[in-house]
């Protein structure tokens, strides 16, 4: 069972319905996510996106520059945006797997900043670590209302600082949920 900080102390308390963040992403979950992306989101296969686990146990999604470059032989901005969007979507997919549930994942809004050109042969986007309290709130709202949102940050690294930063607000609704996505506060 996951734990979280209480607002009145520094001790951690169990959070019902959510398992702790694993020390690693299960290989079966990564393989399942790759299959879903290739089968259900054709753009991912066309861009040759691959999922993996980053060194610090975050989801990483990468693509080859060779298939995703612009006229200047750097990564195409639209491809970078898609890569970041999918890294966030995949993080939500893995969270639902960890919560042992499912739902419809959509992105409600996003913003992206391109700080410098990306010219590495393999471009990788990593979703930053999710705050445990935000994850707990997501799990509680989803269990109670059948829908919830979570804001995620994704980065594409540069030489000494991020080359691209992305913020996305992802919404998940249960298949049986009758409330509209935009009713979420």
Task: Determine, yes or no, domain membership for 18.
Answer: no
Task: Determine, yes or no, domain membership for 14.
Answer: no
CA R_g for the chain = 17
CATH number at residue 120: 3.10.129.10
Task: Determine, yes or no, domain membership for 120.
Answer: yes
Is the separation of the CB atoms in 110 and 167 below 8 Å?
A: yes
Residue 1: predicted pLDDT: 37
Number of compact structural domains in the chain: 1
Is the separation of the CB atoms in 130 and 91 below 8 Å?
A: yes
Task: Determine, yes or no, domain membership for 124.
Answer: yes
Q: What is the mean pLDDT of the chain?
A: 85
| Mean pLDDT value of segment 73-81 | 98
What six digits make up the tokens of 169? 């607000």
Task: Determine, yes or no, domain membership for 35.
Answer: yes
What six digits make up the tokens of 166? 């992305």
Query: Which helix H or strand E contains 12, and what residues bound it?
Result: strand 12-15
Is the separation of the CB atoms in 170 and 90 below 8 Å?
A: no
Is the separation of the CB atoms in 149 and 170 below 8 Å?
A: yes
Is residue 176 very low, low, confident or very high in pLDDT (cuts 50, 70, 90)? confident
With pLDDT > 90 as the criterion, what percentage of the chain qualifies? 72
Alpha-carbon span 3 to 21, nearest angstrom: 9
Q: Where are the alpha helices (DSSP H) in the chain?
A: 27-40, 42-46, 77-98, 132-145
Specify the residue for token string 């992305």.
166
Task: Determine, yes or no, domain membership for 172.
Answer: yes
The CA-based dihedral angle spanning residues 52, 27, 105, 79, taken in that order and rounded to the nearest 10 degrees: 20
Enter the pTM of the model: 0.83
Is the separation of the CB atoms in 89 and 49 below 8 Å?
A: no
Task: Determine, yes or no, domain membership for 160.
Answer: yes
What six digits make up the tokens of 7? 């607002």
Task: Determine, yes or no, domain membership for 32.
Answer: yes
**Of the ranges 60-64, 163-167, 179-183, which one carries the lowest mean pLDDT score?**
179-183
140: closest CA among 17, 20, 21? 17
160, pLDDT greater than 60:
yes
Structural domain that includes position 99: 25-183
Residues 6+ apart with CB under 8 A from 47: 63, 67, 68, 79, 82, 83
Residue 138: predicted pLDDT: 97
Is the separation of the CB atoms in 138 and 150 below 8 Å?
A: yes
């Amino acid at each position: 069972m996951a734990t979280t900080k209480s607002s009145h102390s520094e001790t951690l308390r169990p959070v019902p319905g959510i398992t702790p963040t694993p020390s690693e992403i299960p290989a079966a979950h990564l393989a399942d996510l790759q299959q879903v992306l290739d089968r259900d989101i054709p753009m991912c296969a066309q861009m040759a996106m691959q999922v993996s686990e980053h060194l610090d146990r975050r989801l990483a999604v990468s693509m080859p520059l060779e298939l995703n470059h612009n006229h200047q032989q750097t990564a195409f901005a639209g491809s970078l945006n898609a890569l970041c969007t999918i890294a966030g979507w995949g993080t939500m997919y893995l969270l639902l797997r960890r919560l042992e549930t499912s739902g419809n994942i959509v992105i409600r809004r996003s913003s992206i900043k391109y700080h410098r050109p990306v010219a590495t042969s393999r471009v990788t986007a990593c979703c930053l670590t999710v705050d445990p309290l935000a994850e707990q709130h997501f799990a509680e709202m989803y269990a109670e209302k059948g829908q919830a949102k979570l804001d995620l940050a994704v980065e594409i690294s540069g030489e000494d600082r991020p080359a691209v930063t992305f913020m996305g607000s992802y919404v998940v609704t249960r298949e049986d949920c009758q409330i509209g996505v935009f009713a979420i506060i």
